[in-house]
Structures are given as structure tokens and as C-alpha cells.
Chain A
Amino acid sequence: MEILVCVKKVPDTADAEVVLKADGTGIKEDDLASGINEWDNYAVEEAIRIKETHGGTVTVATIGSADSEDVLRRCLAMGADNAIMIDDAAFKGADPYGIARGLRGLAGKGSYDLVLAGAQAGDDGYAMVGPVLAGYLGWPHATLVTSVLLEGTTVKVTRELEGGLEEMLKMDLPAVLTIQTGINEPRYVSIMGIRKVRAKEIPVLDPAAIGLSPGEIGANANLVRSAGLAVPPAGKEAEMLKGTPAEIARKILDIVKERGGVA
């Protein structure tokens, strides 16, 4: 089983202040911690588990620059066999279609049975690259996958629907699956583990090496074009409770009793 996993490094904005660049084209990432996209981490783990059961190899790939190398090394330390970086210089400002074209070029160079990607990314959240890539490859796909079971030349998956419901699907290989968080428990990566893979060569491919011309992937090729970012207008805001933790706790209990009528 030859598996390609598409990963991406993203800034961690869940618990941090996000500040726009002065020209409004992006956010200031210098002060933000960053790491592998959460969904992608589950995808890498799932690929390694499949390899452990069925044999084969796991290749992780990213479209990025030197600062994404740590993410790829982390994947190698988890148990991926190979890592490939596609130099992202020509992809600057690319929309999900540009990214998917790059990944199609890469997938076309191998003979993969399965391509896994995170169901979405924690930064721009399009949730498009996986199914668009499948469309370009002409392969079956499933999004929001919560379990994967290989059966010969087919794969059985469950997809997460709303309200705790799942659907079960079967499809022919090769296929593209986008992985939902919670599908597995990603293994811990130790510093020792990362050290062990520090010498592993990570080839860096330029667009020409995957059969793409720069005109196909840069911002000029975008089908969806960014027209600027903004801080959301302040909407209804909560009434803030202030004071020492003890004072706040008292206020919370009062609200619970008086307005909630419980406790």
C-alpha cells in the first residue's frame, strides 16, 4: 500500500491574538506558534497505522519553504518513510485549486493507492484541497472520514455527518480521503525520535519537476481571489465579569441562581 499524505504548517490562532499586516493582505505570523495542521496530524497517524497493518510506504508532502521542514521531520519521526517538499515560492497566494494542482503533479509522479489529507486547515479552512485533488486525478474521494478499512482493491470508510450520525461508504482504490479529527490518537513524538531522522534527506521539488508551469499555480491563476482581510466588526459582546476569582465566582453563582433558576 503506497500512501501519500498531504500536510501543511499553520499558525496556531486558537488561543492567540491575531493581528493583521498593515496592508491587510495577511496576518502577522512572527509572534504566533506554528505546527502541523491538526487535521493533518490525524491523517499522518492514520497512514502509519495502515502501513503497520498492510505494509507499504508512507510519503508525506508539503507545499512550503525551509520553515516547514520541522513539520516534515516530525512526520518522519512518527513513522513516515519519506518526505517531499514542493518549493512554495511559485505558490505564493495560491488558492485551493493552485495547491491541488501542485499536489496532483506530485501524486502523478508516484504510484499511490491512497492519498490522505486533513479534512480542513486551521488557517483558511476551505476544506477543498482533498476533493478538488480527487477531481483532478479522476479518483473517488470521501471527506470527513472517521474510519478507514482496506479490503483488497477497495476501501470502506465512515464519514462524519451531523448530530452524531455517520455514513458508511465503499470505494475503489486509488482514492483520496480527507481525515476528520478524532479518527485515532496520534502518537507522541519525542525529541529523540526527531533526532533520529534529522539526517534523512528531504528532496525539494520545484514546479517544473512536477510538470507545472508557474502560470498554473500562482496568485494570477487563482479562481478564488483574495480581496482583503479585516478584523470582524464587533457584534454583540458579553457583559464582562471582573474582579478577583472569588468575586467572579460569587457573581457567576448569583447569575446561575437568579437568571438561570438552577443550583
Chain B
Amino acid sequence: MAKVFVVVEHRQGAIRDATFELVTLARELQRSSGLEPAAVVIGRGVRGFAETLSKYLPRTIVVESEALADFRYETYAAALRDVLEKETPLVTLCPQSAFGMELFPRLSVESERPCATDCIKVAMEGAGLSVVRSIYNGKIHSRSTFAPSGGYLVTVRSGSYAPAAEAGGAGAVEDHPCPPFATPFRTEFLGYREAAAGAVDISQSPFLVSIGRGIKDVENVPKAQELADRLGAVLSCSRPVVDKKWLGKERQVGTSGRTVKPKVYLALGISGAFQHLAGIKGSGVFIAVNRDAKAPIFGAADYGVVEDMFKIIDALKEQIGS
């Protein structure tokens, strides 16, 4: 029977949420196409993670080694390749995250299995695998198939599948011996670093006025700040504003910045990249202003305005008075 494997992502002692979204996908592939799902946990001291995964999937494979203490593609790809060669899963899934982006393309070359990254849908079509990817800033969906192979690698965009609930019952946990590594290693993990905390904590504010690429120039930032002040809101932003150093990293909303859940989120000139939208899941009222009627943000917002953000800023200030 063909298999589908979920590579468990964990960091600093915790399984990352995206793993449980892939459990949902693996179960879906089991239901629709009869693939046998299993989790693969790689690391040091990860027995506890395997116990957790055993509540979700019928089988969990564990590769433990001192050399796997910290994530490096070098050791993880070698360990995973060994698992793939012995177990020959048809499909192996991983989150499209800093972990998956570092690991899977490289594993693809080293294990000689084709990989498609950042997929939003994954399905078997007959004996072959088919994926859908969201491209051109989310404005186009692209379907892809693969050259015939004994196994396929797929990374999945976070939020594409709902997180799974426990299955009830306990699955099997099996140890897979860690293969010998090619040494000396050429990469070394040195440690983690927290982005410097700033003066504001945007996650604590019930009302965020958030600006994106549409702000156009650093000289326009005070206009948005003034609006936020008058509304009693805190100013936040999307990634391009931080990349240009117009606001500090501590104000960035999104997967690589802060996750927020304000009562009101007013997005001005933000197109709505999924990394940004993932940072405001579960927010209260979400209002988006953007010149581009096709901007993906209108697919996520409760209320939308197709208009130049500066006209709306000025009109809002006028309505509020001074």
C-alpha cells in the first residue's frame, strides 16, 4: 500500500502548528486514495513529540540522534533521505516555512525525488500526484503534475488545511536508526536570536491602523500615524514597510512579524499577501482600503474600499475633526 508521510516541524521544544494542518491533508489522502499516513519526527529528545503525533496518526517514525539536536538541512536531509529510501512513501509532506524551505528543495536533489513547494492543494489523480499553487501575488492558481517518480515531495502553504483534531486511540511509535553522517559537517548551528523588541507591542492593541506598500514614501508615514493617533489606534504595517526601514520590525504584522487579534483591523494600501493575512487570523472587524479591486486582501476582509488610501485618510481625519 502506498504511503503518505508528514515531516513534523518542531522548534525550541514545541511542535509547530503547521504540522497539524498536514495531518488533515494526510488523512484526506488516506480517505480519497487509500494512502497510509505516518508522521516522521527527527531530532534529539523528540520522543514526546512522537507520543503526541501518535494520537493523530496510526504510525509515527522517530529518528533520534545527538547530531540532530538543532535543525540543519545537512543532517536532517540525510536522516530523512534514509527514511525515504527504506520506507519509500509515495508522498512526503512538509510545511512551507523557514524549516521546509531550507530542507525540502535540498532533500529533493539528494533523494532524487521531485518537489513542488508552497502548494495550497494536493490530490492524487489516478496514480499521479497533482498540486495547486497560488502565484502572481495570489491572482493566479497554477496546477502542476510531476515527472513519474517513486516518491514526491510537497511543501504546503500554512492555512491551506484546517488543523487536525486527535484521532482517539494511540498509533504505533517506531524507532528508525539514525544513519551515519558524512563528516566533517560543513554547516554549524550557532543559536537563535530574537528580533529586538520595540517600544510598542502591537498585539496588545484592540485597534490597529495598518499600512502597506501603498504608503509609497517614508514622508507619508506621519499621515497614517496621525490618523491612528486620532482614532486611538496603534500603527502597524506589512512587510514592505519594514523592509524599507520606514517602521520598525516590531510593528510588522504577519508570519515573520507579529500575530495579532485586534477588535478592529484597518488595512490601508496592503495587497494581502498570505503571510500578512496569516498574522491577523481571528481578528474582529477587518476593513481594507486598496486601489486595486483585485487585491487578495478583499477576499479576506469583512469590508472593502476600492480607493486611494490617502483620500480615505484625509476623509477620515475630516470626519473625526481635530
Contacts and interface: CB of A to CB of B under 8 A. Distances in A.
Interface of A: 11, 13-18, 20, 27, 96-97, 119, 122-128, 130-132, 134-136, 140-144, 156, 158-172, 181-182, 185, 222-232, 234-241, 244-246, 248-253, 255-256, 259-263
Interface string B259-283: 1000110100001000000000000
Interface string B135-153: 1111111111111010000
Contact of A261 (B144, B146, B263): B263
A227 B143 contact: yes
B249 A126 contact: no
B189 A167 contact: yes
B8 to A, nearest CB: 16
B303 to A, nearest CB: 5
Contact of B319 (A11, A132, A182, A246): A246
Q: Determine chain A's interface SS by DSSP, over half rule.
A: mixed
Contacts of A132: 105-106, 108-109
Interface centre among A126, A162, A228, A250 (most CB of B within 10 A): A162
Contact of B312 (A18, A124, A235, A245): A245
Given A18-B139, A164-B258, A245 B307 contact: yes
B318 interface: yes
Q: Determine chain B's interface SS by DSSP, over half rule.
A: mixed
Nearest to B298: A238
Contact of B116 (A14, A224, A230): A224
Contacts of A136: 109
Interface in B16-64: 16
A132 B190 CA distance: 24
A140 B232 contact: no
A229 B141 contact: yes
Interface residues of B, number: 98
Given A132-B108, A135-B108, A256-B264, A229 B315 contact: no
Interface string B192-212: 111100000000001100000
A225 B316 contact: no
Interface centre among A126, A127, A224, A240 (most CB of B within 10 A): A224
